[in-house]
Amino acid sequence: MGKGLPDRSNDFSAWYTQVVNRAGLADHGPVKGTMVIKPYGYQLWENIKDVFDKMIKETGHVNAYFPLFIPKSFLAKEAEHVEGFAKECAVVTHTRLKSDSEKGIIVDPESQLEEEIIVRPTSETVIWSMYKKWIQSYRDLPVLINQWANVVRWEMRTRLFLRTSEFLWQEGHTAHATSDEAEKETLDILELYRQLAEDYLAIPVITGLKTDSEKFAGAERTYCIEAMMGDKRALQAGTSHNLGQNFAKAFDVTFQTQDNKEELVWATSWGVSTRLIGAVILTHGDDKGLRLPPKIAPIQLVIIPITKSEDQVNELKAYLDPITKNLKESGIRIYEDWTNNSPGYKFNEWEMKGVPLRMEVGPRDVKEEKVVLVRRDDKEKLFISKNNILDFIQKLLKDIQSDLFIRARDFRDLNTHHVKDYNEFKSVISSGGFVRCGWNGNPETEVSIKEETKATIRCIPLNEEPKGLSCIFSGEKAKHEVVFAKAY
């Protein structure tokens, strides 16, 4: 176990906080609930961002930017939307400060705004106010816009990356001529989120539909990807919303059809955030810290030279130069640690940071024309000829990516249960894990289970077949098979 790192099995929350801190990912900001993302953490976010940005651009989406500030009246136009976010909104009431001889700096009472301004918790309202200006005809559709931005949701209980008052994300907002087009867009994005999670973050997810009580405020339907974390809790890792015509109605966004009729536009919105970094930590981390999937790791290979003299330093640099040049030219992200810290200190530090591969090279390795490679995921040590380094490292990185996913999938499957009755349901939920079971579709049933067990319906899995299932709570014929779990 890493020195001073809490035991995951006894205090998973403390372990998580320590990993975030000691791996150099983030720190608490001066305002309660805010987060400073440190360079290593931001590199991780940039890699995730670059992957998804390429995905959406390849499917015809483009990036834009919309204001941080939203008139309060905009939120009031969509009643369900404002109700969903009312308790989380930060409100700007004045525009300036002034000096006071007794109190120092105070808010200038004369600068009070006629209408308060909301710091965006999400951008549907401000974007649809603009779409009203931009959309006139079927020729203007579809509109496929995404923005990379920050949002503010004034959370009471916060945890770095998982839930903070301000966070970074992407939010897509699209407009369509038909209901079918909007539904297709919603599901297409859900599939991109699945690919991002599974193929790049190595996190297995369940794709499904949220219940009405759990859906996005203002949406007709909310689809999601749900993942199991290392403590058997669920994490909602991304959402894609079919907004129907709700925001088009609120902002009177209509278009002229090909047969010269006027119709309301159909809408979607979708987003993933820096919460994904928390998901990576919680899914793959171990007793030594992070374990990063190679595809998104800021550093894929760290090189630890082991020397005792200046002559050995020069000898190793000469030996490593052609090797590192070849690796860099092949696109492998590497870092050479020439600091004066001991090898043991360096090993622990880079294990904490989750670098997928470590290369150890000393004078004996130079003489034998080899290197030592150590996998972060399973700690396997390999002795490799310098002539085979590139091919071997490329294969190892692919293997590590795949093995992390398989290990996480096996863990989820092992802790996913099909139960026979409500007592068994409560026992499983108490010990942690996913429960797949029947639900009668009644919101009151959903509330009763949540109040008693603290578990929620994470999703109704796509293509679920409740044939032969009974509701785990009422015993009635099940309308859906659902996934229950306690969640972050």
3-state secondary structure 95-114: CCEEEECCCEEEECHHHEEE
Give strand ranges (E) for 75-165: 90-94, 97-100, 104-107, 112-119, 143-152
Q: What architecture is the 12-89+121-284 domain classified under in CATH?
A: 2-Layer Sandwich (3.30)
Q: How far apart are CA 280 and CA 20, in angstroms?
A: 11
How confident is the model at residue 464, as a pLDDT?
84
**14-34: pLDDT as tens digits:** 999 999 999 999 999 999 999
- Neighbouring residues of 115: CB distance < 8 A, sequence distance ≥ 6: 71, 72, 73
Q: How far apart are CA 216 and CA 222, in angstroms?
A: 6
Q: Enumerate the β-bridge partners of residue 197.
A: none
* Structural Rg of the chain based on CA atoms: 26
Classify each residue of 109-134 as buried b or exposed e, where b means 16 or more C-beta atoms within 10 Å of its C-beta.
eeeeeeeebbbbbbbbbbbbbbbbee
Inform me whether the pLDDT recorded for 1 exceeds 50: no
Classify each residue of 68-107 as buried b or exposed e, where b means 16 or more C-beta atoms within 10 Å of its C-beta.
bebbbebbebbeebbebbeeebeeeeeeeeeeeeeeeeee
Right CATH number for 416-485 from 1.10.3720.10, 3.30.110.30, 3.20.20.140, 3.50.70.10? 3.30.110.30
Q: What's the rounded mean pLDDT across residues 231-254?
A: 98
Q: What's the rounded mean pLDDT across residues 84-113?
A: 96
Q: What average pLDDT does the chain have?
A: 96
Q: What's the rounded mean pLDDT across residues 307-323?
A: 95
DSSP, collapsed to helix, strand or coil, labels residue 131 as helix
Q: What is the DSSP code string of 373-399?
A: EEETTT--EEEEEGGGHHHHHHHHHHH
Inform me whether the pLDDT recorded for 262 exceeds 50: yes
Inform me whether the pLDDT recorded for 190 exceeds 50: yes
Q: Enumerate the β-bridge partners of residue 226.
A: 206, 236
Element of type H or E holding 222: strand 221-228
pTM of the model: 0.96
Q: How far apart are CA 36 and CA 21, in angstroms?
A: 11
Asked if 356 and 280 count as a contact pair (C-beta separation under 8 A), the reply is no
Burial class (CB in 10 A: 0-12, 13-18, 19+), 53: middle
Q: What is the DSSP code string of 437-451?
A: EEE-S-HHHHHHHHH
Q: Among 80-84, 103-107, 276-280, 326-330, which is the least confidently predicted range? A: 80-84
**294-303: pLDDT as tens digits:** 999 999 999 9
**204-229: pLDDT as tens digits:** 999 999 999 999 999 999 999 999 99
* Neighbouring C-beta atoms of residue 325, cutoff 10 Å: 10
How confident is the model at residue 82, as a pLDDT?
87
Q: How far apart are CA 101 and CA 108, in angstroms?
A: 13
Asked if 126 and 120 count as a contact pair (C-beta separation under 8 A), the reply is yes
**42-62: pLDDT as tens digits:** 999 999 999 999 999 999 999
Inform me whether the pLDDT recorded for 171 exceeds 80: yes
Name residue 178's amino acid: T
Contacts 24+ apart (CB under 8 A), 96-100: none
How confident is the model at residue 2, as a pLDDT?
47
- Neighbouring residues of 287: CB distance < 8 A, sequence distance ≥ 6: 1, 2, 5, 7, 8
Q: What's the rounded mean pLDDT across residues 70-98?
A: 94
- Which residue intervals of the chain bear CATH 3.30.110.30? 416-485
How confident is the model at residue 57, as a pLDDT?
98
Range 301-412 has CATH code 2.40.10.120: no
- Neighbouring residues of 354: CB distance < 8 A, sequence distance ≥ 6: 23, 284, 285, 289, 290, 291, 292, 297, 376
Q: Enumerate the β-bridge partners of residue 271.
A: 171, 239
Find the distance separating the first CA and the last CA of the chain, reported in whole Å. 25
Q: What's the rounded mean pLDDT across residues 69-86?
A: 93
Inform me whether the pLDDT recorded for 304 exceeds 50: yes
Closest CA to 288 of 4, 1, 3, 24: 1
Asked if 376 and 26 count as a contact pair (C-beta separation under 8 A), the reply is no
How confident is the model at residue 3, as a pLDDT?
65
- Reading the block at residue 437, the tokens are 């079971």
DSSP state for residue 138 in the 8-state scheme: G
Q: How far apart are CA 220 and CA 244, in angstroms?
A: 6
- Which residue intervals of the chain bear CATH 3.40.50.800? 301-412
- Neighbouring residues of 323: CB distance < 8 A, sequence distance ≥ 6: 371, 386, 389
Q: What's the rounded mean pLDDT across residues 170-184?
A: 98
Sheet (strand 90-94) strand order = 69-71, 112-119, 90-94
Q: How far apart are CA 115 and CA 213, in angstroms?
A: 31
